[in-house]
Each structure stands twice: as structure tokens, then as C-alpha cells.
Amino acid sequence: MQREQTFVMIKPDGVQRGLVGDIISRFESKGIKIVAMKLVAVERQLAEKHYGVHKGKPFFEPTVKYITSSPVVAMVLEGVNVIEMVRGMTGATDPQKAAMGTIRGDYGQFIGRNIIHASDGKETAAFEINLWFTSKEIAQYSRIDEVWLQE
Ligand code: CMP
């Protein structure tokens, strides 16, 4: 298992509903390192690029509108096997199907308001990190608890 980075976005509903602190807290408590983070009022062009793979699908336009409707919190998280781990913590895309204990399972009800986005694989993570952040915005540091996290 490799050390890797993933892109996470707390969507407008997560920010508006005051869930930012709780969501970040879950990642911190798990020992996942935040290496970049910012609040972004997303422009249409960025939203269209981010959801480019879904262009032409019926939910593309509503999703672009949703993501540009109010600020999001964008971040880069780092850790061993972090892409899969964060997808697990996020839960199924549809909050109705997401397991309790996951972010979407605990806080969401509808697929069009599913609180959070997380990269679904290595290539997507690289694309999304590069789309949302410059290399200067990504920090390199050690967390003081790292020695207690691993065997
Ligand atoms: P996300 O993980 O960000 O990836 C695509 C987003 O499109 C998804 O979460 C939802 O916010 C939104 N969406 C809306 N309807 C659908 C759908 N039927 N299938 C997949 N994604 C959808």
C-alpha cells in the first residue's frame, strides 16, 4: 500500500448546513493529513471541467448549478491508501444507499445534495488536484502523531 493524495470537496450544502468542522474532524481523527485546503466560490468553467466526464448526462447541468450556487471547501488529503479510505468514509454516491457511519449516510438524503465529493481513483485524484490547486498551495509536513499511527 502506497502513500498517496486525494481531492475532497465539501459541497455547498455541507458548507451551508454547518458540517465543515465535523467532516474535517472525521478525517483528522482517522489520522489523515490535510496538505491543502481553501474555501472557493466555484466558477462555471471550473465546475464544468471538474464534472467533464459527466457532460451529456441528465444530471450534468443540475450538478454544475449546485456546485456553483454557494462556496465549497476544497482540500487535498494525504495518507497510505487514502483514496480508497476516504471513499469508504464518504459512502455511496446516493445518500439513501450510503451506510450509516459514512458522511453521506449520516448527513444526506438525496443524490443531488450529497454533501461531499472524493476522487474515485489514482488518475482522477491527479486530475482533480491539478485542477483545483497549484503545487505551491500543497504543503509538505509531518504530523506529530504520525509515529503513533503506524506500526
Ligand atoms: P459526485 O461524487 O461529486 O460525482 C458526480 C455528482 O453528480 C454526484 O456526486 C452527485 O452530486 C451528482 N449526481 C446527481 N445525480 C446523479 C446520478 N443520478 N448519478 C450520479 N451522480 C449524480
Ligand 1 near 111 CB (within 6 A): yes
Cβ-contact 39, 72 below 8 angstroms = yes
Count of CB atoms situated within 10 Å of the CB of 81:
13
For residue 47, being part of any structural domain is answered with: yes
Residue 1 clears pLDDT 90, i.e. is over it? no
Q: What angle do CA 55, 17, 53 make, to 5 degrees?
A: 10
Cβ-contact 107, 86 below 8 angstroms = no
Per 3-state DSSP, what percentage of the chain is helix, strand, and coil (rounded to 5)?
45, 20, 35
Q: Is 117 a catalytic residue?
A: yes
CATH code of residue 116: 3.30.70.141
For residue 71, being part of any structural domain is answered with: yes
pTM for the whole thing?
Answer: 0.97
Rounded to an integer, what distance in angstroms lies between the CA atom of residue 133 and that of residue 126? 11
- Structural domain including 13 reads 3-141
Ligand 1 atom closest to the CA of 116, numbered from 1: 3
**Number of residues that make up the chain:** 151
For residue 148, being part of any structural domain is answered with: no
Q: How many A from CA of 93 to the centre of ligand 1?
A: 6
List the residue whose alpha carbon is closest to atom 8 of ligand 1: 93
Average pLDDT over residues 10-37: 98
- pLDDT-above-90 percentage for the chain: 97
Q: Which of 8, 54, 59 to mutate to test the pocket of ligand 1 (most atoms within 8 A of CB)?
A: 59
- Report the number of distinct structural domains present in the chain: 1
